[in-house]
Amino acid sequence: MFSWIVALVGLICLLPLFGLVALAIKLDSAGPIFYKQERVGINRRRNDRRQRPDDLLMCNRRADRRQKNVFGKTFFVYKFRTMVSDAEKRCGPIWATKNDPRITRLGRFLRKTRIDEFPQLINVLKGEMSVVGPRPERPFFIEKLSTEVPNYTRRLEVLPGITGLAQVEGGYDVTIDDVKKKVSHDLEYIRISSLSSDVKIMFKTVGVMLGARGM
């Protein structure tokens, strides 16, 4: 309920900013204002903790529907567009990097200030995300990383978040070691998760935004 209230108030207060950002995106580059991408949400299955990654991958190959939901229920995350239109169709699913040539001039600013994440308040209102939690990842990368990073799927035990401990403490994922470091932050968040810890992370996020230190 706390996240829902924060999202509702935040969305109402940020509506004027949404209009300005939408206009800026249209003036900066051709393409849509918003961008949506399939992500994996919370895994509510009771047997998740007992299943090994290779067992999950066997289930993953049985059918397309199972493939999308074997790690958790999928949903579409919303963002302001920060890359050139149809960027992923040209090169496939790859991690964004600090100097990614696909990112537009305005997109770099939106990412550094985390403004591109604001539309995800809609995901919070829909019950798909929380304000604070592990970042939701794409099915392709979860399938890959679940076999390479210990305890990676434990991130799916809670609702994904717009911001989180891993986001305020880390930067871009460039190597597997970077991912492992972020997972350790995510697991630490799950262990200490409380209203007070969420509020602290929100304040840290504001500091990241004001200092333009976002990813």
**200 in a structural domain:** yes
**Coil, helix or strand at residue 16:** helix
**142 in a structural domain:** yes
pLDDT at 186 (0 to 100): 95
* Boundaries of domain holding 71: 2-210
**64 in a structural domain:** yes
**193 in a structural domain:** yes
CB 123 within 8 A of CB 77: yes
Locus of tokens 């239109």: 85
pLDDT at 67 (0 to 100): 52
Q: What is the pLDDT of residues 39-91, one digit of tens each?
A: 999 987 744 444 455 555 555 555 454 555 668 889 999 999 999 887 776 66
Contacts of 24 (CB under 8 A, 6+ apart): 106
pLDDT at 93 (0 to 100): 63
**215 in a structural domain:** no
Tokens found for residue 23: 């206009």
**Coil, helix or strand at residue 103:** strand
**50 in a structural domain:** yes
**65 in a structural domain:** yes
Contacts of 131 (CB under 8 A, 6+ apart): 2, 3, 6, 7, 124, 161, 162, 163, 198, 202
pLDDT at 56 (0 to 100): 52
CB 137 within 8 A of CB 39: yes
CA distances from 74 to 3, 49, 80, 158 (A): 20, 19, 20, 14
DSSP code, position 83: B
CA 146 to CA 1: how far, in whole Å? 30
CB 131 within 8 A of CB 205: no
pLDDT under 50: residue ranges of the chain? 46-51, 63, 65
Q: How many domains does the chain have?
A: 1
DSSP code, position 36: E
Phi, psi angles (nearest 5°) of residue 204: -65, -35
